[in-house]
């Protein structure tokens, strides 16, 4: 499906209201009182300083709170989701995302914890592609390949932010201008990523982009989730609404084939513990699944259930693919929030996206955005317990 069609299929209603900015309090310290008296909303957007870059650029932290016990903290650095508190089946809140307590951690070493990834999420083989007869060379940062936007992708820049408030949701709208030539990409690309928390216990992410020259674009969100809050996530039960996947070579570049998952350890069409067959998958799961929906309309992509805490996360998206990454490169060397050491498979990523290396695979859904077109994409994470 081409980009214009994708835009048309994402209803205006999904975006309405999300972009209405409101003036919100900025303060440096004490959290607001959040006791809810009956019928009174505690939905809030709070803005605080979150340190700064070595060059002095200030970084902010936005805290979103809904009326149902969800709390998200997001920073202008990398448009990163720093934490996401979700109640368990007893109503006890717990942070289900991996990351750092302070900006410093993100600046030192981060495997894209919680970030918005771009200009192109996942890999482009050998960092090259041909578009309209011109060869482009990108910055390579993953062996000979280009990964997640290059050396300084959207996860490592400071975004502009403004709070968003509507009747049943609060959010933050992050904007970034990726200049022509950045990391080798053509065109000035205006990107907006709007996160919101709704009173239906959803974390919604709306992506928008426009360009002045044709360019590949593949935006995604890179949270590592652990619905139990710590330890490994091999006992989490995963369902993927996908019958096919795109196999990869040694460098994790798609071979171009689209294979059936049926009868293989890749099959999550029925709920299965992530750890149940992971040993049969060389290196662990790090694959793009081809969603049954085909993309273009909002449809269920994945469900993850954690039996001990009862937390369930369901992901819907307008994207045609989802990268399931089982935290294979976590190895116990990172100490994150609250002093937690992140072990192998300490978190999983479910990155809604177009397929990796699409610019070099004409058979994959197109990732090319052209002047005059508007990219819009929506992903919803819905939380409940059972």
The residue (of 64 and 125) whose beta carbon lies closer to ligand BGC is 125
Q: Residue 108 class from Cβ within 10 Å (0-12 exposed, 13-18 middle, 19+ buried)?
A: exposed
Query: Whole-number minimum distance, CB 121 to ligand BGC, in Å?
Result: 7
Catalytic residue among 146, 148, 221, 222: 222
The residue (of 123 and 370) whose beta carbon lies closer to ligand BGC is 123
232 binds ligand BGC (CB under 6 A): no
Tokens matching residue 167: 């009747």
For ligand BGC, the binding residues in 276-295 under the rule CB under 6 A are: 286
Tokens matching residue 191: 């990107």
349 binds ligand BGC (CB under 6 A): yes
140 binds ligand BGC (CB under 6 A): no
Indicate the Cα dihedral angle 118, 120, 124, 129, nearest 10°.
-130
Q: Please, what is the end-to-end C-alpha distance for the chain in angstroms?
A: 36
The residue (of 198 and 352) whose beta carbon lies closer to ligand BGC is 352
329 binds ligand BGC (CB under 6 A): yes
Stretch that binds ligand BGC, among 41-49, 51-59, 174-182, 322-330 (CB under 6 A): 322-330
357 binds ligand BGC (CB under 6 A): no
Rounded to 5 degrees, what are φ and ψ at 313? Answer: -120, 125
Tokens matching residue 67: 């009326």
The verdict on whether 351 is a catalytic residue reads yes
* Residue (of 350, 343, 375) closest to 7 by Cα position: 375
Q: Are 254 and 246 in contact (CB under 8 A)?
A: yes
SS3 223: coil
Please give the residue whose beta carbon sits closest to ligand BGC in the complex: 111
Q: Are 312 and 383 in contact (CB under 8 A)?
A: yes
Q: How far apart are CA 288 and CA 270, in angstroms?
A: 17
Query: Whole-number minimum distance, CB 379 to ligand BGC, in Å?
Result: 15
Q: How far apart are CA 285 and CA 323, in angstroms?
A: 9
Q: Are 162 and 139 in contact (CB under 8 A)?
A: no
The verdict on whether 148 is a catalytic residue reads no
111 binds ligand BGC (CB under 6 A): yes
Catalytic residue among 202, 208, 210, 351: 351
112 binds ligand BGC (CB under 6 A): yes
| Count of residues that bind ligand BGC according to CB under 6 A | 10
Applying CB under 6 A, which of residues 174, 241, 268, 325 lies at the interface with ligand BGC? Answer: 325
Stretch that binds ligand BGC, among 63-71, 202-210, 301-309, 321-329 (CB under 6 A): 321-329
Query: Whole-number minimum distance, CB 252 to ligand BGC, in Å?
Result: 5
The DSSP bridge pattern shows strands 299-305 and 237-240 to be antiparallel
The residues binding ligand BGC (CB under 6 A) are 111-112, 122, 252, 286, 323, 325, 329, 349, 351
Catalytic residue ranges: 222, 351
């Amino acid at each position: 499906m081409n980009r214009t069609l994708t835009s048309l299929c994402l209803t205006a209603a999904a975006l309405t209201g999300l972009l209405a900015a409101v003036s919100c309090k900025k303060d440096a310290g004490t959290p607001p009182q959040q006791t809810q008296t009956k019928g009174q909303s505690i939905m809030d957007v709070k803005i605080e300083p979150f340190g700064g870059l070595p060059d002095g650029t200030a970084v902010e932290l936005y805290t979103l709170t809904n009326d149902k016990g969800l709390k998200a903290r997001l920073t202008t650095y990398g448009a990163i989701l720093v934490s996401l508190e979700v109640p368990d089946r007893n109503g006890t809140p717990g942070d289900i995302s991996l990351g750092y307590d302070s900006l410093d951690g993100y600046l030192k070493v981060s495997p894209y914890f919680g970030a918005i990834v771009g200009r192109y999420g996942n890999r482009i083989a050998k960092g090259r592609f041909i578009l309209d007869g011109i060869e482009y060379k990108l910055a390579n940062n993953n062996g000979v390949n280009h990964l997640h936007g290059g050396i300084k992708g959207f996860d490592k820049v400071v975004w502009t932010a403004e709070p968003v408030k509507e009747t049943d949701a609060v959010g933050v709208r992050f904007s970034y201008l990726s200049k022509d030539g950045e990391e080798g990409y053509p065109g000035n690309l205006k990107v907006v990523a709007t996160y919101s928390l709704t009173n239906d216990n959803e974390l919604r992410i709306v992506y928008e982009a426009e360009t002045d020259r044709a360019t590949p674009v593949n935006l995604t969100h890179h949270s590592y989730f652990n619905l139990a809050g710590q330890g490994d996530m091999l006992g989490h039960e995963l369902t993927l609404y996908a019958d096919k996947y795109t196999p990869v070579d040694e460098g994790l570049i798609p071979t171009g084939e689209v294979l059936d998952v049926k009868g293989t350890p890749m099959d999550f069409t029925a709920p299965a513990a992530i750890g149940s067959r992971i040993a049969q998958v060389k290196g662990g799961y790090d694959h793009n699944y081809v969603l049954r929906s085909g993309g273009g309309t909002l449809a269920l992509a994945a469900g993850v259930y954690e039996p001990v805490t009862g937390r369930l996360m369901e992901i819907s998206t307008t994207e045609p693919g989802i990268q399931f990454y089982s935290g294979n490169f976590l190895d116990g060397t990172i100490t994150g929030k609250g002093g937690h050491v992140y072990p192998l498979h300490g978190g999983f990523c479910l990155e809604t996206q177009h397929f990796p290396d699409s610019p070099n695979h004409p058979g994959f859904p197109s990732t090319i955005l052209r002047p005059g077109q508007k990219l819009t994409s929506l992903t919803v994470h819905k939380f409940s317990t059972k």
